[in-house]
Amino acid sequence: MKIDDHDHVTIPPNGKAHEPQPAWREEFPIDWPKDEFRSRRDFTKMLGLTSLAFVAGQVWIGVLSIMRKSRSAPARMDLGLLDELPIGGAKRFEFPSPGHPCLIVRLEKDSVVAFGQKCTHLSCPVIPNAELGKFLCPCHHGSFDIKTGRPLAGPPRRPLPKIELEIKDGRVYAVGFAEAGA
Amino acid sequence: MKGLSTLHQRNSMVLAIVCIVLCLVVMQLWLLTATMEAFLGGEDFIVWPAAAASLALFGLNFGLLHFYLRTLSC
């Protein structure tokens, strides 16, 4: 291939004039401006596809929401005797299935609460501190209210998932998850 | 288009459309992150209205893109 119009067909990668270029450049005329060119039309089309992808993402969240609602209630779990837990003490358990760490904390003689142990920021395990009345996250210094699970400080913005408890004959049972905001 | 016959006018229209589409896409991105945050926080009621809003924004984008690709870029 003979390059007739150098200004419009090709610019050598080294930026030098066309005449001293080696002969192989005529066989491989890399056109840098065209190679790097992204037209406005292509960019706008890409924006359209991105917009469609966001709609698909929203629909996917909707599907996940439906799947979560239709999931059956978790099986009731025996967490042991209430009196085994000292006031201000905490015990770790896994609910509703292994791999989902939770904490039960006895706040007062007849007051006991349980929450998921994963911090809602980046899933670090939170540590209860009954004296301060907080769950503390050591990773980014986040903290949650020990009674409600609401975020108090640090990066977490969502509350810890609250577990509904039932006390029967001195034994504590985990019976499910409380609704958000409950 | 008779009213947009000069290159300069057409160029301005195209730039305006690209800017509007870009703003709408950024709004969709915000909507997606806010919806995900609400969903993870257990607030399901917002999910489908947000999806409808995102679909409406996409419809607007599609209309603008259609106008650009079919009318302005010929």
Looking at the structure, do residues A82 and A170 belong to the same domain, yes or no?
yes
| Of the partner residues B28, B44, B57, the one whose CB lies closest to the CB of residue A69 | B44
**Is the CB of A40 inside 8 Å of chain B's CB atoms?**
yes
Contact at CB, A64 and B39, closer than 8 angstroms: yes
Looking at the structure, do residues A37 and A83 belong to the same domain, yes or no?
no
Which range of residues forms the domain containing residue A139? 77-177
Report, as ranges of residue numbers, the positions in chain A whose pLDDT lies below 70: 1-21, 25-26, 28-38, 180-182
Looking at the structure, do residues A156 and A123 belong to the same domain, yes or no?
yes
CATH of residue A148: 2.102.10.10
Q: What is the largest CA-CA distance in chain A?
A: 97
In the chain, the amino acid numbered A53 is A
Looking at the structure, do residues A63 and A84 belong to the same domain, yes or no?
no
pLDDT of B54 above 60:
yes
Looking at the structure, do residues A87 and A149 belong to the same domain, yes or no?
yes
In the chain, the amino acid numbered A88 is G
**DSSP letters along A29-97, please?**
--BHHHHH---HHHHHHHHHHHHHHHHHHHHHHHHHHHHHHHSPPPPPEEEEEGGGSPTT-EEEEE-SS
Closest by alpha carbon to A172, among A74, A92, A88, A79? A79
* pLDDT (average), residues B17-34: 95
**Residue at which a domain ends, from A44, A70, A96:** A70
Looking at the structure, do residues A57 and A129 belong to the same domain, yes or no?
no
Closest by alpha carbon to B47, among A63, A24, A173? A63
**Residue at which a domain ends, from A29, A54, A70:** A70
Give Cβ neighbours of residue B51 (< 8 Å, ≥ 6 apart): A55, A58, A59, A61, A62, B35
> What separation in angstroms does the CA of A157 have from each of A93, A136, A162?
24, 14, 15
**Is the CB of B73 inside 8 Å of chain A's CB atoms?**
yes
In the chain, the amino acid numbered A75 is A
Looking at the structure, do residues A171 and A92 belong to the same domain, yes or no?
yes
How does the average pLDDT of chain B come out, rounded?
Answer: 86
**Any domain includes A28:** yes
Q: What is the largest CA-CA distance in chain B?
A: 54
Give Cβ neighbours of residue B6 (< 8 Å, ≥ 6 apart): none
**Any domain includes A182:** no
* pLDDT (average), residues B10-14: 82
Residue B32: list chain A partners with CB under 8 A: 54, 57-58, 61
Distance from C-alpha of A90 to C-alpha of A92, rounded to nearest angstrom: 7
Burial A84-123 (b: 16+ CB within 10 A, else e): ebeeeebbebebbeeeeebbbbbbeeeebbbbbbbbbbee
- What percentage of chain B reaches a pLDDT higher than 90? 50
The angle formed by the CA atoms of residues B19, B22 and B23, to the nearest 5 degrees, is 90
Q: Which pLDDT tens digit goes with each residue over A30-42? A: 665 555 555 777 8
**Residue at which a domain ends, from A70, A99, A123:** A70
Confidence of residue B43 (pLDDT cuts 50, 70, 90): confident
> What separation in angstroms does the CA of B64 have from each of A171, B15, B20, B71?
64, 12, 9, 10
**Any domain includes A1:** no
pLDDT at A34: 57
**Any domain includes A83:** yes
pLDDT at A1: 44
pLDDT at A74: 78
**Any domain includes A149:** yes
**DSSP letters along A138-149, please?**
TTTTEEEETTT-
**Is the CB of A120 inside 8 Å of chain B's CB atoms?**
yes
pLDDT of B29 above 90:
yes
pLDDT at B21: 94
| Of the partner residues B29, B39, B42, the one whose CB lies closest to the CB of residue A61 | B39
**Any domain includes A124:** yes
Looking at the structure, do residues A113 and A139 belong to the same domain, yes or no?
yes
Say how many C-beta atoms besides its own lie within 10 A of residue B55's C-beta.
Answer: 17
Looking at the structure, do residues A52 and A95 belong to the same domain, yes or no?
no
Looking at the structure, do residues A83 and A116 belong to the same domain, yes or no?
yes
pLDDT at A72: 73
**Any domain includes A25:** yes
pLDDT of B16 above 60:
yes
Q: How far is A9 from chain B (nearest CA, A)?
A: 24
CB B32 within 8 A of CB A56: no
| Of the partner residues B18, B25, B55, the one whose CB lies closest to the CB of residue A50 | B25
Looking at the structure, do residues A66 and A117 belong to the same domain, yes or no?
no
**Number of domains into which chain A is organized:** 2
pLDDT at A109: 83
Looking at the structure, do residues A132 and A155 belong to the same domain, yes or no?
yes
